[in-house]
Amino acid sequence: MRAKQLAKLGITDAGGLLRHFPRAYQHRGNVRMLSDASDGEIGAFILTIRTPPVTKMVKNRMTITKFTAFDDSRTCVIVFFNQRYINDIFMVGEMFRFWGKLSFDGGVATLSSPVFEQVRDDKPLPEFVPLYPLTAALSQKYLGGLVKAALERIIEYPPVLPDTVYREEGLCTAPEAYKFTHFPNNYAELERGRAYFVFEELYVFALGMAHTRRERPEGCAPPLERVDSREFLAALPFELTGAQKRVTNEIYSDMTSPRRRPMARLVSGDVGSGKTVCAAAAVYFTVKNDYQAMLMAPTEILASQHYTDLSELFSRLGFSVALLTGSTKAADKKAIKSGLRDGTIDFVIGTHALLTDDVEFKNPALVITDEQHRFGVMQRARLAAKGSDLHVLVMSATPIPRTLAHIIYGDLDMSVVDELPPGRQKVGTFVVDDSFRERLNGFIAKNVADGGQVYIVCPAIEDAEETLKDETDNDEPGEGLTINDSGVVGFDFDGDNNKVSEPRLKSAVGYAKKLREEVFPDLRVGFIHGRMPAAQKDGIMRDFSAGNIDILVSTTVIEVGINVPNASLMIVENAERFGLSQLHQLRGRVGRGTRKSYCILVSDTKNEQSKSRLEVLHDTSDGYKVAQADLDMRGPGDFFPRGSDATRQHGELRFKFASLCGDMELLRRAFGYAESCEATPAAIKAAQTWFGMKMEY
């Protein structure tokens, strides 16, 4: 039973146990006097037992045990429920360190069910107590005991970092780093352990990236000749912007290089900047040279949108286009795969269905991936493996600061579409709290009455979800996990250490039901979320696009949804739960037509940093400025999807200790070591696991 529970946490051996790092620490060495603590404060108190425990039976066979203890400032009542064994632990005159929430009722200080440790001269109490991510049926005490036993028994740690790194960076050893990280005696040890794992993470990442750069092919790309682009330009319903022309020329230059080096280019651009037409130009160039092209999108919704937009264009130009997704009918799949094999299909658009082994091409030359940050290195490689040294074009609608992009996509050349098409309206953006709810509902009704449509985005699918909430157990008071002032020291992996105390999450399912039944019974309210079958999601988005839904309540599944020019209002609930770049993407879903459009960010957060972050969206509509603010405030996490290990893609940027914002100089040094030092077997294995690929050294 315990083995199954541990496996849910990814712990299957001693190594996995030691890599299951604390998410925070209770700073029990910061002892408070009772008289200095405020009502509701969580902390550590060293008290002497004054009266013996007394247990009484209360209703429903429950027992309550009480006794008093004191320090030099005042007396406190200690209370335990259904714990008769307490009578045999606490003896008058003995001293204990208690950790819990202190409350004052009628002037009487009380600690309810605190954690306790006896104070003894021969056994110093730890300064910090680790708090681990848990699952059901596992306690902090049990998991901490396992880690302590593993640290005592493991003698040899396979070295990840080369010896040169230890010497030049002044890092502690691996055994010390594990000990300092799991059971630090003071802040200095905690920081020493963190410094080791920061550099280890950056080095392993640099090792994998260095490998992908070395593996980039240098020749033998399909030989393409320049073609007259006037036919393509004439088929477009608009004139290209200067930025689109520049990026298209960069693509053409890559694909006609006399060295025949395969193109490997990232096209990054703000929401609505027109990256897709640059990709379409690359497709036209390919098929005019009698080769085939493929485009892979992360969702069926986005793949269908691309197919709708591009199939009409290429059909007018005389080329055949197909859509291949998981929900494509079996007979159609068979016909499409046959057409790709015999070359009668020039251009295929699809999802992960394109990655299956039975999708074969007669004469491929170009691979395009959209929303590149949602695909891992391994997926991109599998798609490119459909032919020999194919040209690769990757697109990202998430504006990424150049410094970060060069590090993350160092194996790619970079183009930026930094000019919006004429006529693109600025979306008015406002930050409000729940006190504006009545006015906000009125604004929704007015937008619909004027002929517009509304998106409402919620962070959860169903009411029971609380995806960002920490798990606790009986060994610790849960309220102690909220803020550092309560004695909890955290690495702050996600950039915001007080998520537990934030307002309750709104859910798409529950909120849609409330709007439909109570708030807007006369309007057509729909909802959509990522767990729905693809066909159902596509149907809902088609209904919304056709104007058959007035208000669409959604999770972030619509972040890369279809283009709905009539949508004029975007409302994001619990906006503090989203990254700035993600909010900017959501804002980009409106303002695509002629209507004046708005984005309303609703948040009741009391966290000042979160409030400052949201104001960035109010102050600027420039996606690159938003992205830079995201990087400065929170690190790189918002540029990449979060999720469980079971669903994430290999190659996604995902650090536990390091921050590319604060540790940029360390990363540069890590790249230097990755290039100049011989990698250890443990480092190669770690990089293979992270990037999901074989690495030969």
Cβ distance 526 to 553 under 8 Å? yes
pLDDT at 494 over 50: no
Cβ distance 495 to 512 under 8 Å? no
Task: Please compute the mean of the pLDDT values over residues 53-75 and round it to a whole number.
Answer: 92
Task: Please compute the mean of the pLDDT values over residues 194-201 and round it to a whole number.
Answer: 92
List of residues 6+ apart from 221 with CB closer than 8 A: 255, 257, 260, 261, 262, 263, 365, 389, 390, 391
Residue identified by tokens 């950790």 is 99
The pLDDT assigned to 689 comes to 75
The pLDDT assigned to 481 comes to 27
The pLDDT assigned to 92 comes to 96
Cβ distance 99 to 115 under 8 Å? yes
Residue identified by tokens 């992009």 is 405
Mean pLDDT of the chain: 82
Q: Where are the domains of the chain?
A: 2-150, 230-417, 428-467+505-620
Work out the pLDDT band at 117, boundaries 50, 70, 90: very high
Residues 238-260 have pLDDT tens digits of: 899 999 999 999 999 999 888 77
Residue predicted with more confidence, 29 or 631: 29
Long-range CB contacts for residues 51-56, cutoff 8 Å, separation at least 24: 51/92, 52/87, 52/90, 52/91, 52/92, 53/86, 53/87, 53/90, 55/84, 55/86, 55/87
Residues 591-618 have pLDDT tens digits of: 887 789 999 999 998 888 888 889 999 8
Task: Please compute the mean of the pLDDT values over residues 335-352 and round it to a whole number.
Answer: 95
- From the list 192, 99, 177, 186, the residue with the least C-alpha distance to 141 is 99
Please state which CATH class domain 428-467+505-620 belongs to: alpha beta
Task: Please compute the mean of the pLDDT values over residues 376-403 and round it to a whole number.
Answer: 71
Residues 297-321 have pLDDT tens digits of: 887 878 888 898 899 999 999 999 9
Task: Please compute the mean of the pLDDT values over residues 659-669 and round it to a whole number.
Answer: 72
The pLDDT assigned to 407 comes to 65
The pLDDT assigned to 468 comes to 32
Residues 168-190 have pLDDT tens digits of: 999 999 999 999 999 998 889 99
Looking at the chain, the whole-number percentage of residues with pLDDT higher than 70 is 83
The pLDDT assigned to 568 comes to 94
Q: Looking at the structure, give the CATH architecture of the domain made up of residues 230-417.
A: 3-Layer(aba) Sandwich (3.40)
CATH code of domain 2-150: 2.40.50.140
Work out the pLDDT band at 666, boundaries 50, 70, 90: confident
pLDDT at 322 over 90: yes
- Region for residue 495 given its phi and psi (left: phi exceeds 0; alpha: psi -120 to 50; beta: otherwise): left
pLDDT at 469 over 60: no
The pLDDT assigned to 108 comes to 93
Work out the pLDDT band at 98, boundaries 50, 70, 90: very high
β-strand partners of 417: 269
β-strand partners of 123: 120
- Token reading at 468: 């960002």
pTM of the model: 0.62
The pLDDT assigned to 314 comes to 95
- From the list 324, 396, 352, 285, the residue with the least C-alpha distance to 623 is 396
Task: Please compute the mean of the pLDDT values over residues 351-369 and round it to a whole number.
Answer: 90
> Do 428-467+505-620 and 2-150 have the same topology in CATH?
no
* Highest mean pLDDT, choosing among 68-82, 180-194, 394-408: 68-82
Work out the pLDDT band at 215, boundaries 50, 70, 90: low
Between strands 129-131 and 24-26, the pairing is antiparallel
Residues 433-456 have pLDDT tens digits of: 999 999 999 999 999 999 999 999
Looking at the chain, the whole-number percentage of residues with pLDDT higher than 90 is 43
pLDDT at 165 over 60: yes
Cβ distance 470 to 584 under 8 Å? no
Cα distances from 659 to residues 198, 199, 207, 678, in angstroms, run 8, 10, 17, 25
Task: Please compute the mean of the pLDDT values over residues 156-179 and round it to a whole number.
Answer: 90
Work out the pLDDT band at 404, boundaries 50, 70, 90: low
Task: Please compute the mean of the pLDDT values over residues 72-80 and round it to a whole number.
Answer: 96
Separation of CA 173 from chain center:
31
The pLDDT assigned to 286 comes to 96
The pLDDT assigned to 444 comes to 96
pLDDT at 497 over 60: no
pLDDT at 471 over 70: no
The pLDDT assigned to 261 comes to 82
